[in-house]
Amino acid sequence: MAGGLRQGVPSGKGAVLLIALGAVVINLPLAHFSYYDWRLGRDGVETSATVVETHESEDGDDHFVRFRLDRELDPAQDEWVAEVDQAAYERAEAAEVIDVRVLPDRPGTYEVDGQQQSALPWVITLVGDLMLLGVVLLYWRARPADTRLRLVATADVERCRPGPLLERRDDGSYVVCGDVIAIEDDAIVLDAGEHAVRVELDGHANPVGYQQPARVTGRP
């Protein structure tokens, strides 16, 4: 009787969906940022914004300008902040205006004169992708091989020494040894090396836990 998996790695389709979802979640913010950056370069308009405030970091290495766009571009009259280089900072402080390229329909997408671009979105995405790659590699190593052999147990499952074995006897039965990679309601799946072998217990006992080596005899 085939029951639902209680332990083990996800099924192939399920794992692929989870990995794909993880890739979307990790890369979507950067893709979103890149899309609007592309739109800014194509559809953005040049304007002069009113400088509301300028301030530097305590060590004087970082320079920030707080500004407000014209009401035509930003009816809400929100205040926006950008980190700029020292030359642009000094110009903004002296003139009390700063040149800005902005999307007319999206005032929060802008680039100001001398703006310092942060590499943080790229770094976060790269770290996330590397972590996802590590998960993929772990899944690839832990995934069960193709289950080409299905057996019905002829005796209770036994504990054994680690190491895969798939041996066919003269009478047509099989002896299988390997780690338990899945436990179902009335079946187990063993990693027998090149193949995973699913064994229906057919009422026989299984005292061996998940990821522990087991030995079982059975017939196709």
* 34 and 131 inside one domain: yes
Q: Could you tell me the pLDDT band of residue 194, with boundaries at 50, 70 and 90? A: confident
* 124 and 160 inside one domain: no
pTM for this entry: 0.51
How far is the C-alpha of 80 from the C-alpha of 171, rounded, in Å? Answer: 80
Q: Last residue of some domain: 143, 163, 197? A: 143
Inter-CA distances, 31 with 37, 62, 132, Å: 10, 27, 17
**Can you give the pLDDT at residue 124?**
87
Contact (CB, 8 A) for 138 and 9: no
**Can you give the pLDDT at residue 145?**
53
* 73 and 156 inside one domain: no
Inter-CA distances, 208 with 163, 177, 187, 215, Å: 15, 12, 12, 9
* 54 and 35 inside one domain: yes
* 4 and 102 inside one domain: yes
* 20 and 48 inside one domain: yes
Number of structural domains the chain divides into: 2
* 122 and 202 inside one domain: no
Q: Last residue of some domain: 126, 143, 160? A: 143
* 131 and 156 inside one domain: no
* 137 and 149 inside one domain: no
* 178 and 75 inside one domain: no
* pLDDT tens-digit readout, 64-85: 999 999 999 999 999 999 999 9
pLDDT(189) > 70: yes
* 129 and 184 inside one domain: no
Choice among 6-15, 39-48, 206-215 with the minimum mean pLDDT: 6-15
* pLDDT tens-digit readout, 23-68: 888 888 888 888 988 999 999 999 999 999 999 988 888 999 999 9
User: Higher confidence at residue 169 or residue 138?
Assistant: 169
**Can you give the pLDDT at residue 13?**
59
Q: Last residue of some domain: 143, 169, 192? A: 143
* pLDDT tens-digit readout, 95-150: 999 999 999 999 999 999 999 887 777 888 899 989 988 888 876 666 555 556 89
Inter-CA distances, 210 with 47, 117, 196, 198, Å: 65, 50, 14, 14
* 101 and 125 inside one domain: yes
Domain that holds residue 165: 145-219
